[in-house]
Amino acid sequence: MLEMLQHWDAACFQFINGDLGNPVFDALLPWFREKWFWLPLYIFIATFSLLNFRARGWIILLGLVLAAGLADYTSSTLVKKNVQRLRPCNDVEMFDQLKLRVPCGGGYSFTSSHAANHFAAAVFLIGVFGGLARWLRPVALTWAGLIAFSQVYVGVHYPGDVLGGAALGTAIGWWMAMTWRRWLLH
């Protein structure tokens, strides 16, 4: 069963990393991985929270930082160091078949911390603000999904890594949002 999942993961990786390759994705998707690219969005979220919720805005921002931080710690320190799955760009069996579009980096691959962090942030924001705007759910999940997808496209993660990171981040983001709503915002 595990061998079949790894085969599927490698085939999906090759499709996303290789077959979907095009100049538009080559130009855009490496940027989607960069935290500075999203700085205007982060500033907007902070400004929106502080202007509309005043003192509670600081509590919302603290929850957002804690959700992303907990997802990052769990992914990077607990999961990756125990699973120890090689990144496709560090896997000798995959190296000849991939198109590496950014530096490979070190460390292990499962779970994707980019996916975990951004899904935790997206789901936290949905849990806190989702009742205010119905459009937030698809926008936030698309944002996190684009970041996760870009990790596979550039060659540094398998699809299973980003799916695992998305699941981890979703669970942490939802738990943090429900905790914030229940104990700190009411």
Question: Residue 47: what pLDDT?
Answer: 96
CB 128 within 8 A of CB 62: no
Q: What is the mean pLDDT of residues 117-140?
A: 91
Question: Residue 186: what pLDDT?
Answer: 58
Residues 6+ apart with CB under 8 A from 99: 17, 18, 21, 155
Question: Counting beta carbons within 10 angstroms of the beta carbon of residue 167, is it exposed (0 to 12), middle (13 to 18) or buried (19 or more)?
Answer: middle
CATH architecture under which domain 22-184 falls = Orthogonal Bundle (1.10)
pLDDT at residue 185 greater than cutoff 60: no
Q: How confident is the model at residue 184 (pLDDT cuts 50, 70, 90)?
A: low
Task: Give me the residue spans of the domains in the chain.
Answer: 22-184
- In SS3 terms, 27-43 reads as HHHHHHCCHHHHHHHHH
Question: Residue 29: what pLDDT?
Answer: 96
Question: Residue 149: what pLDDT?
Answer: 97
Give me the phi and psi of 29, to 5 degrees please: -65, -35
Question: Residue 156: what pLDDT?
Answer: 94
Residues 6+ apart with CB under 8 A from 49: 57, 58, 60, 61
Asked if residue 111 has a cis previous peptide bond (ω within 30° of 0), the answer is yes
Structure tokens at 21: 């390759």
Is 0.85 topped by the overall pTM? yes
Report the distance separating Cα 23 and Cα 29, nearest Å. Answer: 10
Instruction: Select the more confidently predicted residue: 68 or 97.
Output: 68
Structure tokens at 172: 């942490």
Q: What is the mean pLDDT of residues 154-166?
A: 96
CA torsion through residues 8, 10, 14, 16, sign: positive
